[in-house]
């Protein structure tokens, strides 16, 4: 009975040591993968990486990680020579194939979300006279001064954002809804065209995190929500 008790204690200690070693190893790997992704993708900030699943060491032996979570605040993207910042970014990455030194990694699939402020949306697609805000019902509101046959007037319009080709944001369905005090909307021809001068009708984005493609853009009260997706994504190496 005493021998069995000693064996049980020994097994508990061994399991504890294995768990501790496993958690230490995954912590080191998290940091290495984050550094490699930042370097490989040219990110302006180091992301946070969390390798999911237990035990980690058996995944290493198989050279395939079941799931990796990636997040970062303040990632920069660019378009048309302009830069903008993603307030938040997070991604779920599955089926990550790695080598033993974690110097290369390729994922079967990935999906992520991000949030960008209206100030940064204005920086990407608006000109110096435009201000972009939430327009309600999945639309953006574009405000600014436009040139018309009656002279320059203040006004605003709503528009929809869409995605083309996985990396280009487009602006369409423009509808002028207000002009300066005392000006009738019907009194000025070509208003939709005039308001189109306040923004780029399309903007190709670069610097997207971990090679993901843009799936959708959804204007919300707190900013524009962006969803990403990808398959056979080269994370590093």
Work out the end-to-end distance of the chain between its first and last CA atoms, rounded to an integer number of angstroms. Answer: 55
Q: Which of 94, 98, 91, 84 is nearest to 48 (CA)?
A: 91
What's residue 34's pLDDT? 77
B/e letters for 131-144, b = 16+ CB within 10 Å, e = fewer, are ebbbbeeebbbbbb
Whole-number pLDDT of residue 7: 43
Q: Which residues pair with 48 in a beta bridge?
A: 71
- Position with higher pLDDT, 185 vs 216: 216
Would you say residue 17 has pLDDT above 50?
A: no
- Euclidean distance between CA atoms 134 and 115, whole angstroms: 13
pLDDT (0 to 100) of residue 52: 77
Contact 168, 201 (CB under 8 A): no
Per DSSP, what are the bridge partners of residue 155?
144, 179
Question: What are the pLDDT digits (tens) for 84-140?
Answer: 899 999 989 888 887 766 667 788 888 999 999 999 999 988 887 789 999 999 999
Per-residue pLDDT, 13: 47
Half-sphere exposure (CA, 13 Å, Cβ side) for 229?
6
Does residue 5 surpass a pLDDT of 50?
Answer: no
Bridge partners of residue 227, in order along the sequence: 113, 216
* SS3 state of residue 122: helix
Which residue is associated with the tokens 């080269």?
Answer: 234
In this structure, of 27-31, 32-36, 95-99, 167-171, the range with the lowest mean pLDDT score is: 27-31
Structure confidence by residue, pLDDT tens digits, 33-88: 777 777 777 778 888 888 776 676 676 766 777 888 888 888 888 888 888 899 99
Please list, in sequence order, all residues whose beta carbon lies within 8 angstroms of the beta carbon of residue 226, skipping any fewer than 6 positions away: 86, 113, 114, 115, 116, 214, 216, 217, 218
Residue 69's DSSP bridge partners are 50, 92
Residue 187 confidence (pLDDT) above 80: no
Name the 3-class secondary structure at 175. Answer: strand
Instruction: State the pLDDT at residue 184.
Output: 57
């Amino acid at each position: 009975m005493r021998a069995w008790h000693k064996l049980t204690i020994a097994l508990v200690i061994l399991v504890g040591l294995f768990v501790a070693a496993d958690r230490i190893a995954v912590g080191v790997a998290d940091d290495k993968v984050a550094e490699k992704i930042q370097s490989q993708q040219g990110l302006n900030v180091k992301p946070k990486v969390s390798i999911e699943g237990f035990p980690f060491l058996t995944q290493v032996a198989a050279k395939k990680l079941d799931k990796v979570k990636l997040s970062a605040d303040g990632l920069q993207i660019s378009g048309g020579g302009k830069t903008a910042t993603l307030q938040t970014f997070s991604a779920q990455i599955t089926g990550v194939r790695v080598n033993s030194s974690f110097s290369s990694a390729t994922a079967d699939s990935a999906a992520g979300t991000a949030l960008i402020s209206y100030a940064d949306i204005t920086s990407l697609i608006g000109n110096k006279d435009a201000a972009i805000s939430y327009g309600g019902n999945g639309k953006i509101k574009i405000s600014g001064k436009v040139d018309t046959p009656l002279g320059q007037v203040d006004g605003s319009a709503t528009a929809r954002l869409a995605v083309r080709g996985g990396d280009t944001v487009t602006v369409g369905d423009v509808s002028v809804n207000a002009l300066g005090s005392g000006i009738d909307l019907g009194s000025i021809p070509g208003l939709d065209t005039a308001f189109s001068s306040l923004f780029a009708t399309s903007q190709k984005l670069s610097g997207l995190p971990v090679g993901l493609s843009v799936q959708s853009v959804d204007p919300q009260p707190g900013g524009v929500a962006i969803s990403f997706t990808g398959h056979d994504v080269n994370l590093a190496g």
